[in-house]
Structure 1
Amino acid sequence: MFGGSIVALVTPMHEDGSLDLEALGRLVDFHAGAGTAAVVIAGTTGESPCISAAELDTMLRTALEAAAGRISVIAGTGSNATAHAVELTRVAARAGAAAALVVTPYYNKPTQQGLFLHYHAVARDGGLPVILYNVPGRTACDLLPETVARLAEVEGIVGIKEAVPGTERVARLRELLGDRLDLLSGDDATAMDFLLAGGDGVISVTANVAPRLMHGMVEAARHGEPRKAEALNDRLAGLHRALFVEPNPIPVKWVVMHMGLIGAGIRLPLTPLDPVHYDEVRAAMLRAGVEYTS
């Protein structure tokens, strides 16, 4: 159901931290015209821990109106409380999202059986197709391939965003799953290798900044054109690094602001990018052909 270059969209905010829905509409329109396959609203890059259920509903409805059927809209509905994840997924279903991206329960450190039951409940009761999201570097919890294979048998689970870097994990997932789930990279720096090893797409931070380049790289890798993919990825490599000089989404919001697409708003406990990183991030923008407007 899902593949290609999918953007983990930043959440535009005014300087006081309130949502900037006009800018959100502009971002969705920007990506609809740039080859992006889908947008994720209120994922990690969208500051999901600081977004309320009511705001999620408003953002999804705004994004869907702006998309006007041109691009799929996926909702980030993960939580470390199963009942809350179900509730957020229901909010997204009522708003009209195409699917729910559900991160593993962070901080709790559930067992593999706990993870299985968590996702089973969200798929059964949430009302949307579910994309599993495994990012152990943030959650202290690793959804193992063998558990993913069990979850592939659950009705309504359609894919996984896998953010364990490298190709060993995608190879193991493909071996266990065949074509039962869409395999999406969650690590921009190794996404090309993930795709060449059999992945279907990427849910990307870098695509916020260089959507056309990311789309081109992803399509080349998916269609078995490694030289073309490598050439495009070389232009993106600086962004893959620079957008993580501080915790995501601090750097990417600074870049998208200096592209003239959003304002400066970000919510505590996140803070604006430290000026010590400005030159490095601007150089990565230049290498990727991204215009710095202010």
Structure 2
Amino acid sequence: MDLDRPLGGIHVPLITPFDADGTVAAAALEGLAHSALDGGAAGLVALGTTAEAATLDAEERGTVIEIVGRVCRERGAWLTVGAGSNDTRRSGEELRALAGTGAAAALVPVPYFTRPSEAGVIAHVEALAADSPVPLIIYNIPYRTGQTLGIEALLRLAAIPGVVGVKHAVGGIDQDTVALLGAELPGFAVLAGDDVFAPALLALGAAGAVLASAHLLTERWVELARTGDRALGHRLATLAAAVFAEPNPTVIKAVLHAHGRIPGPGVRLPLLPAGGPSLETALRAWDAAGDTRVRTHALIGEAS
């Protein structure tokens, strides 16, 4: 998919809804994709962590890409597909398989668990970018990968041809984050990836964000990215904290189910469904963030 606009704005990494029998709920997924774009999202991410991609088989992964890709083509939206691992060779194979899918970019994690040196991370990305049919967005999330990248390594990654951005999720606002956001990096977008800290990163100059929380109140996240409204940012950060009170995407699925947007709140092991208190807190945070259409108490009763 060739888009004539730069990478930026709010991107929603879609969950994978399941029917009662545990299969992918295709119609619900398509509905979520359209809803996010109706709310003003610039793009969608298929097969991210929020999608429970690690638990999907090859056929299911193909189904997700086909559905989300079709919606993005119809709506002229940016499609990013999660791909890659800590194996450079296998990551290259996954990226080459994206040819012809309509993907505008691939979201590729910093190699995890093996914890290569920064030079090894850079070599990994150089090898992938040189042979990928789509541009790469690096997923920098050290509390999941076990690999911290300093500002010099981040700037070297930004300079690699074929790398167009980073989903930056380091668990806070550190000195390297401030330096990265202050750098002049033509053709390279810094996207906030920590939902709770996204309002702060947007205020510091992030080009956009990839946010699981943006399943909920997408239009308010888009408004925040456009206006920088501090009060709205605080409310959305509170909502983000509520939906991440249990492992992602369990609370988001519980909320979406309470609103009748997906058939059930089910997740695949090793995740477990969110508990009732987390759902109640998230529904109240949704209200406080400004969605006056929601009847919190009624929804809690219907979900119990």
* TM-score normalised per structure 2: 0.88
Measure how far apart 1:276 and its partner are: 3.5
- 1:134 & 1:53 partners in 2: Cα distance? 25
Give the counterpart letter for 2:148 in structure 1.
D
- 1:143 & 1:41 partners in 2: Cα distance? 25
- 1:101 & 1:284 partners in 2: Cα distance? 29
- CA separation of 1:62 and 1:91: change in aligned 2, threshold 3 A: same
Deviations 1:207-252, CA, capped at 9 Å, x for gaps: 011101000001113xxxxxxx212223323211111111111111
Measure how far apart 1:161 and its partner are: 0.6
- CA separation of 1:84 and 1:55: change in aligned 2, threshold 3 A: farther
Residue 161 of structure 1 aligns with which residue? 167
Deviations 1:70-102, CA, capped at 9 Å, x for gaps: 321110113122222222222223311110011
Q: How many residues align?
A: 287
Checking the alignment, whether the CA contact within 8 Å between 2:10 and 2:42 is kept in structure 1 is yes
Answering whether residue 258 of structure 2 is matched by residue 263 of structure 1, we say no
| Equivalent residue for 1:122, pick from 102, 116, 128 | 128
Instruction: Name the stretch that deviates more: 37-46 or 89-98.
Output: 89-98
Residue 3 of structure 2 aligns with which residue? none
Measure how far apart 1:157 and its partner are: 0.4
Give the counterpart letter for 2:85 in structure 1.
S
Residue 284 of structure 1 aligns with which residue? 285
Answering whether residue 211 of structure 2 is matched by residue 204 of structure 1, we say yes
Residue 132 of structure 1 aligns with which residue? 138
Does the residue aligned with 1:218 lie in a helix, a strand or coil? Answer: helix
Measure how far apart 1:10 and its partner are: 1.0
C-alpha RMSD of the superposition: 1.8
Residue 95 of structure 1 aligns with which residue? 101
Residue 110 of structure 2 aligns with which residue? 104
Instruction: Name the stretch that deviates more: 26-35 or 273-282.
Output: 273-282
Residue 225 of structure 1 aligns with which residue? none
Measure how far apart 1:273 and its partner are: 0.4
- 1:274 & 1:289 partners in 2: Cα distance? 24
Instruction: Name the stretch that deviates more: 26-35 or 88-97.
Output: 88-97
Deviations 1:46-82, CA, capped at 9 Å, x for gaps: 1122233443232111112223033211101131222
Answering whether residue 36 of structure 2 is matched by residue 35 of structure 1, we say no
Checking the alignment, whether the CA contact within 8 Å between 2:199 and 2:237 is kept in structure 1 is no
- CA separation of 1:13 and 1:284: change in aligned 2, threshold 3 A: same
- 2:208 & 2:183 partners in 1: Cα distance? 18
Residue 187 of structure 1 aligns with which residue? 194
- 2:59 & 2:151 partners in 1: Cα distance? 34
Give the counterpart letter for 1:234 in structure 2.
H
* TM-score normalised per structure 1: 0.91
- 1:15 & 1:271 partners in 2: Cα distance? 15
Measure how far apart 1:201 and its partner are: 0.6
Instruction: Name the stretch that deviates more: 120-129 or 62-71.
Output: 62-71
- 1:70 & 1:29 partners in 2: Cα distance? 11
Residue 246 of structure 2 aligns with which residue? 246
Measure how far apart 1:147 and its partner are: 1.4
Give the counterpart letter for 1:287 in structure 2.
A
Q: Determine what percentage of the aligned residue pairs are the same residue.
A: 34
- 2:153 & 2:279 partners in 1: Cα distance? 42
Checking the alignment, whether the CA contact within 8 Å between 2:232 and 2:289 is kept in structure 1 is no
| Equivalent residue for 1:59, pick from 60, 64, 85 | 64
- 1:245 & 1:111 partners in 2: Cα distance? 32
User: What stretches of structure 2 of length at least 5 have no aligned partner?
Assistant: 1-5
- 2:22 & 2:268 partners in 1: Cα distance? 6
- CA separation of 1:198 and 1:170: change in aligned 2, threshold 3 A: farther
